[in-house]
Amino acid sequence: MKTLLRLFSASFTLAFAVALQASPALPAASELTLENEAGTLRFALKLDQGALSYQVHHLAAGGVTTPLLGDSPLGLVRTEADFTKDLAFVSAGAPVVVKDDYRLVADKVSRVRAAGRERTFTFRNPTGLLFEVTARAYADGVAFRYGLPGRGSQTLFIKDEATGFRLPAGSRVWAQPYSKVDIWAPGYEANYVNGVPAGTPAPAAEGWALPLLFNTGQLWALVTESGLGSDYFAIHLEQNAPGGLYRARLPEEPETYGVAPQAAAIQLPWTSPWRLVVVGERAGAISESTLVTTLAAPSVLKDTSWIKPGVASWSWWSDMSSPSDYTKLIAYVDMSARLGWPYTLIDLGWHQMKNGGDVKQLIDYAATKDVGVLIWYNSAGQHNKVPDAGPYDVMADPLLRDAEFARIAAMGVKGIKVDFMQSDKQFVIALYHDILRDAARHKLLVNFHGCTIPRGWERTYPHLLTMEAVRGGEQYWDKTFAEDAQMYNTIFAFTRNAVGPMDYTPTVFTPPGATNPGIQPNTTTSAHELALLVVFQSGIQHVIDSAASLAKQPAYVLDYLTDLPTAWDETRYLDGAPGQLAIVARRSGKTWYLAGINGTKATLALDVDLSFLGKGSYKASVITDGASQREFAHAEKTLRAGEKLPVALAGRGGFAVRLVPGR
C-alpha cells in the first residue's frame, strides 16, 4: 500500500509539474515592457497562445502614444527545437542601466557616450529548452536580440528566424531591393525606391535589403542590425509585406553556389545579432545616431595609432588598364602628394605591373612622397564565380592569406581592398571577420567591396575604414542611376550611410573618354560632386576622377581638397529628407566643413542656419554651382554663429564650404 501511495504521489507531482510548465500564469503586461530613461520609447512584448510578438511605441509629452511598430513576430527555429510557438513565460529580469563610453577612429563622430536600459525576458518551449529576448531602449532607438542559454560542445543549427517589423499604416518606405544571385551579386548595389507606400512588394522574390527607412508622417525610423558575429548569417526582408509586416529572410540559397548552407551553425550559449530600430523626429536624426556602433562589440585592438584615415587617389575608373601600368600610376601618386592625401589605390591587375617598374618600385616611389599604397584583391574561393580577376585565390585560404599579408606589409603596403564577397551566409560573414583579424595583425587597413552593409564592425575592427554596398560613382554605366543620381545620393545620406562608412567613390568632374567608354556622363553638377566628399562619410574617400581632370580644376577647389579630413569629431544634419535634399556639417578639430546636395532637378535657394558654429568668426571658402554643369562659383566670406548663409543650388547641384576659425 505504501508503495502504491508513493507511486501515486510521484505521478501526481510529475503531472502537476508538467502542467505548471505547460500552462503557467500569463505575466502582467507591465512585466513584458521596457522604456528608455526619458520615457519616450517603449518596447512591449506579448505572449499570445504561446507565440511571441512585440510592439514599439513613441511616447510624446502629454501622454500621447504613437505606434512605431505594431504587433511583430519573434522567434527562432533550430533543426531540433522550435522557439516560435507553444512558449511559456519563465521570468522577466529587472531593468538595468547600460552605459558605454568609447572612441571611433574614423566615423561620423570621434567619441560616443551612450546610456540605455536593458531587460531580459526568458521563456521555455514544450521540451523545456530556454529562449531569451533581451531588449534595450535608448534615447534614439530600441533594439533586441535572442539568446539560447546552455552549455555543450555539440553543434546546433538555426534554420529560420521569425522576426518581423510591422510598419504603421500610411508609412512610406525607402529601401533597396535585395539582388538576385549572379556573378556580380548580391552586393547591395540595386537602386533604392524613393518613398513607396509601406507594404509595396519588392521587385523580385529576393525581397528587400537592410537598412529600411520609413516615415510615419510624424516620425522617422530605420530598421537594421548590428553586432553580427561569425556565428550567424545576415538577414534581409521578404518580398511581400502584407499589412506592412516585413519579415526576416535568410540569405538566398543559391549564394556561394552550394559551398555553404543557409542554416547557421552555433554552439551554446549563443546570442543573435541585435535587431534595431533607430527613431527620430527628423530624417537627419537617423543619420546622426551612433546606435549601430554602440550595439556592436568593443574594439579588439589596443593600439590604433597606425590607423590613418584620409583621401586616396584612384586610377581604375578613368583608365581600367592603369593598375598594371607603372608610368600611368605615377601621376596619381604625385596628385596625392600635391594635395596632402595619404593614399593611392591600385586596383585589379597590379600584380602584373609593367611599363617602367613593378609594384614594389611604385610603393618605394610613393614612400618618397609620403603617400601610402592600397591594393586590390579578389575574395576568390569557391563561393565566388567572378572571372579570374586578380590577384586571385588568396583571401579565402587562411594560410595563403596570412603569408600574403606578411609579404605585402613587408613591401610597405598600407591597406587592402577586398572585392566580390557577395553573400550574407554565415560562411562569408565568418570570412569578413577572418580577413579583419589577420589584417589587424599585419597592420593593414581594410576596405570591402561587392559586400554586405556595415553592422557596427568599424567599432570592433577600427582598421575597417570603409565598405561599398552602394551603387556609387563608379557605376555611371547604369543609365537609370546616372539620370537620377542626385535623387539617389540624397537617399543614401539617410539610409545606407546612416549605418556605417560608405565607399561611394565620389567626385566626377569630367567623365572618362575612350579609356572607359561604358561610363555615362553624370548629370550632377561639379559642385554636387565636390559636396559628396563631406555629405558622405567614409574613413577612406576614393576620389574617382583622373589626375588630369583634377589638375584642371580651379585653385580654390584644389585648396578645398588639400588635407581634406575623412574622420570627424562631430556631425550634424542641418536639413533635408531622402530624395530631396541633404545638408550636413562636420567638424574636424576646430574646422567645420559644410556641404549640401540638391536631390531634385529644380533650382533651390536656401538660407543655411550657422548656429552650429562656435564663438567667434570663421573664414569661409564657399564653393557653389557655376554658370554651367561643369563650372564652379566661389566666394570668400567671414561668418559667425547665428548668421544664415544664403546659397543657390542648381538642379542636381550642390555646395561645399570650409570654415576655419578666425584669429
What pLDDT, in 10s, does the model give residues 639-660? Answer: 999 899 999 999 999 999 999 9
What are 492-543's pLDDT values in tens digits? 999 999 999 999 999 999 888 778 878 888 999 999 999 999 999 999 999 9
Instruction: For 358-397, give the DSSP string.
Output: -HHHHHHHHHHTT-EEEEEEE--STT----S-SS-SSTTS
Q: Which three cell numbers stand for residue 145?
A: 536580440
Contact in structure between 115 and 312 (CB atoms under 8 Å): no
Of the pLDDT bands very low, low, confident and very high (cuts 50, 70, 90), residue 23 is: very low
How big is the CA angle at 147 (ends 145 and 149), to the nearest 5 degrees? 170
What's the pLDDT tens digit per position in 46-57? 999 999 999 999
What is the mean predicted confidence (pLDDT) over 102-110? 98
Shared domain for 247 and 383, answered yes or no, is no
What span, in angstroms and rounded, lies between the C-alpha atoms of 337 and 344? 9
Verify that 210 and 146 share a domain, yes or no.
yes
Q: Which of 61-70, 120-129, 133-142, 348-357 has the lowest mean pLDDT?
A: 61-70
Q: Residue 10 burial (CB < 10 Å; 0-12/13-18/19+)?
A: exposed
| CA separation for the pair 581, 660 (Å, rounded) | 25
Instruction: Dig out the grid coordinates for 377 from the structure.
Output: 584583391
pLDDT band at 5 (very low <50, low <70, confident <90, very high): very low
Q: Which three cell numbers stand for residue 68?
A: 512605431
**Within its chain, how far is the Cα of 482 from the centroid?**
23
**Whether residues 49 and 197 fall in one domain:** yes
Nearest of 455, 439, 422 to residue 232 by alpha carbon: 455
Quote the CA–CA distance of 348 and 83 in Å, as a whole number.
46
Domain that residue 255 falls in: 20-294
Domain final residue pick, 294, 323, 353: 294
Are residue 413 and residue 383 in the same domain, yes or no?
yes
Is residue 340 situated within a structural domain?
yes
Q: Which amino acid is at 662?
A: G
| Pairing label, strands 96-103, 604-609 | unpaired
In a domain, 204, yes or no: yes
Which of residues 567, 590, 616 is at a domain's end? 567
Domain with residue 391: its CATH number is: 3.20.20.70
- pLDDT recorded at residue 25: 59
Do residues 314 and 286 share a domain? Answer: no
Residue 173 contacts residue 195 (beta carbons within 8 Å): yes
Q: Average pLDDT, stretch 129-152?
A: 97
The DSSP bridge pattern shows strands 445-448 and 415-419 to be: parallel
Mean pLDDT of all residues in the chain?
Answer: 94
pTM of the model as a whole: 0.95
Same structural domain, 215 and 363: no
Longest dimension (CA), the chain: 106
Name the least confident of 4-8, 132-136, 196-200, 378-382: 4-8
- Asked whether residue 216 falls in the same domain as residue 361, the answer is no
Place of cell 508538467: 18
Q: Is residue 585 part of a domain?
A: no
Grid coordinates representing 217?
A: 508622417
Q: Which one of 534, 567, 600 terminates a domain?
A: 567
Query: Is 50 exceeded by the pLDDT of residue 607?
Result: yes
Let me know if residue 638 belongs to a domain. Answer: no
Q: Which amino acid is at 304?
A: T
Distance from the first to the final alpha carbon of the chain: 101
**Same domain flag for 281 and 315:** no
pLDDT at 178 over 50: yes
Cis peptide before 454 (omega within 30 of 0): no
Q: Which helix (H) or strand (E) holds 211?
A: none
Rounded to 5 degrees, φ, ψ at 274 are: -80, 135
Per-residue confidence (pLDDT) for residue 22, from 0 to 100: 41
Would residue 235 count as lying in a domain? yes
Residue 640 lies in a domain: no
Q: What angle do CA 350, 354, 516 make, to 5 degrees?
A: 60
Neighbours of 548 (CB within 10 A): 12
Count of the separate structural domains present in the chain: 2
Instruction: Say yes or no: 340 and 474 in one domain.
Output: yes
The residue among 311, 230, 222 whose CA lies nearest residue 561 is 311
Residues pairing with 98 in the sheet:
116
- Tell me how far apart the alpha carbons of residues 77 and 636 are, in angstroms, rounded to a whole number: 62
CB–CB of 523/486 below 8 Å? yes
Regarding whether 186 and 99 lie in a shared domain, the answer is yes
- Name which of 149-153, 452-456, 462-466, 469-473 the model is least confident about: 149-153
User: Could you give the CA distance from residue 280 to residue 560 in angstroms, rounded to a whole number?
Assistant: 32
Q: Are 488 and 420 found together in one domain?
A: yes
E strand or H helix at 399, and its extent?
helix 398-411
In which element (H, E) is residue 2 found?
helix 2-22
The pLDDT score that the predictor gives to residue 10 is 39
Selection from 54-68, 304-318, 374-388 with the highest mean pLDDT: 304-318
- Which region holds residue 431: left if phi is over 0, alpha if psi is between -120 and 50, else beta? alpha
Q: Residues 612-647: pLDDT tens digits?
A: 998 999 999 999 999 999 999 999 999 999 899 999
Judge whether residue 7 has pLDDT over 60: no
Interhelix angle 326-339/359-368, nearest 10 degrees: 20
Q: In 93-234, which ranges are E strands? A: 96-103, 111-124, 130-138, 141-148, 156-161, 164-166, 172-175, 193-197, 212-215, 220-226
The answer to whether residue 138 sits within a structural domain is: yes
Confidence of residue 389 (pLDDT cuts 50, 70, 90): confident
Read off the pLDDT band of 419 (50, 70, 90). very high
Task: Please provide residue 322's backbone torsions phi and psi, each rounded to the nearest 5 degrees.
Answer: -65, -35
Position 115 in a domain: yes
Any idea what the CATH number is for the domain that residue 212 is in?
2.70.98.10
pLDDT at 13: 38
**Distance from C-alpha of 518 to C-alpha of 423, rounded to nearest angstrom:** 27
Of 306, 316, 380, nearest in space to 344 by CA: 316
Q: What is the per-residue pLDDT for 663? A: 66
Residues 414, 557 within the same domain? yes
